[in-house]
Structure 1
Amino acid sequence: MPSETGRSRSVSEHGTSPLPPARVLVAKSSLDGHWRGVAVVARALREAGFEVILGGMLRPSEMASVAAAEDVDLVGINVGGRVEVVERALDEMEAAGLGDVPVFVGGTVPPQAIPRLSTRGVRVFPPGSSLSAIVEEARRLTGRDSPAQQL
């Protein structure tokens, strides 16, 4: 069903056939050089049937433009302690008409920032979060609550 932006979300055209794989942009928000977490999450999502667009290290405006160009269903950002970058990315996404695209973040998130992000609808996965929890939440956020709902 088209969203306000006219893009498809969560249901197939026919309503009963399996949905195509959800598209997830995975990006980093900092120059910390730690890619292992990003790679591990991207792989887990791919293995769970998601189509993953690995955006690399992106500025907030680039996150929004890549999300729009790739018509993603979900955005995952490695925070690297830079919560303000996530907030700017959310602002950029809203300005680009992508306010309906859910966002999850992982990595080092200052505890005092979690409520601020949660208020904006961001799902936070601090270090030590299980991959299965991330995949499960990605399925829920994209309306693909079970693998059978994807092609």
Structure 2
Amino acid sequence: MSTEQAGRSIRCLVAKVGLDGHDRGAHVIARAFRDAGFEVIYSGLHKAPEEIVQAAVQEDVDVLGISILSGAHNTLVPKVMDGLEEYGAAEDTLVLVGGVIPEEDREGLADEGVSAIFGPGTSIEETIEFVRENAPER
């Protein structure tokens, strides 16, 4: 799949949820997505799950990348997924999580609807290719 879908670029929201203030990785991935031709929106720091959901729905994003390094992924990510479900956007949004996610927590996040988890050391190229191959067609 190319970066163009029905005449528009893949739209991505890179989001920082909760009190996690470590945003270097989010900035790196946002820049890499932009350089790959994606349309990128960055949430800024310290957003509540509801704010992330609102931004994803209002911006009609194809991809929601959640960057979380606080250890609160089992609490905050399900709240985001529930919000997307509430708005009927869960099936039309590819949800990715980036950060230090313990192996034992990955299956639970997948059960919540997270499509992929990218940890430290994942190449930017791998992440971009995953988005290109899996972003929903609109």
Fold equivalence (TM over 0.5):
yes
Tell whether 2:27 aligns with 1:34: no
* Structure 1: unaligned runs, 5 residues or longer: 1-9, 13-18, 145-151
Deviation at 1:31, TM superposition (A): 2.2
1:94-105 correspondence to structure 2 within 5 Å: 94-100=85-91, 101-105=93-97
* Structure 2: unaligned runs, 5 residues or longer: none
Match of 2:9 among 6, 17, 21: 21
Which residue in the other structure is 2:83 paired with? 92
Question: What is the rounded CA distance, in whole Å, between the counterparts of 2:14 and 2:55 in structure 1?
Answer: 10
SS in structure 2 of the partner of residue 127 of structure 1: coil
Highest CA radius of gyration, 1 or 2? 1
1:69-84 correspondence to structure 2 within 5 Å: 69-80=58-69, 81-83=71-73, 84=75
Which residue in the other structure is 1:121 paired with? 113
Question: What is the rounded CA distance, in whole Å, between the counterparts of 2:27 and 2:67 in structure 1?
Answer: 10
Q: What is the TM-score when the length of structure 1 is the normalising length? A: 0.79
Deviations 1:32-77 (A, max 9, x none): 3211100000000000000000012321111111011101111000
Between 1:46-55 and 1:108-117, the stretch displaced more is 108-117
Between 1:71-80 and 1:134-143, the stretch displaced more is 134-143
SS in structure 1 of the partner of residue 43 of structure 2: strand
Letter in 1 for 2:41: I
Tell whether 2:126 aligns with 1:139: no
8 Å CA contact 2:52, 2:80 repeated in 1: yes
Question: What is the rounded CA distance, in whole Å, between the counterparts of 1:88 and 1:121 in structure 2?
Answer: 11
Which structure 1 residue ranges, 4+ long, deviate > 3 Å from structure 2?
Answer: none
Deviation at 1:116, TM superposition (A): 0.9
Aligned length: 129
Tell whether 2:57 aligns with 1:68: yes
Percent same amino acid at aligned positions?
Answer: 40
Alpha-carbon RMSD across the aligned residues, in angstroms, is 1.6
Deviation at 1:11, TM superposition (A): 4.7
Letter in 2 for 1:71: D
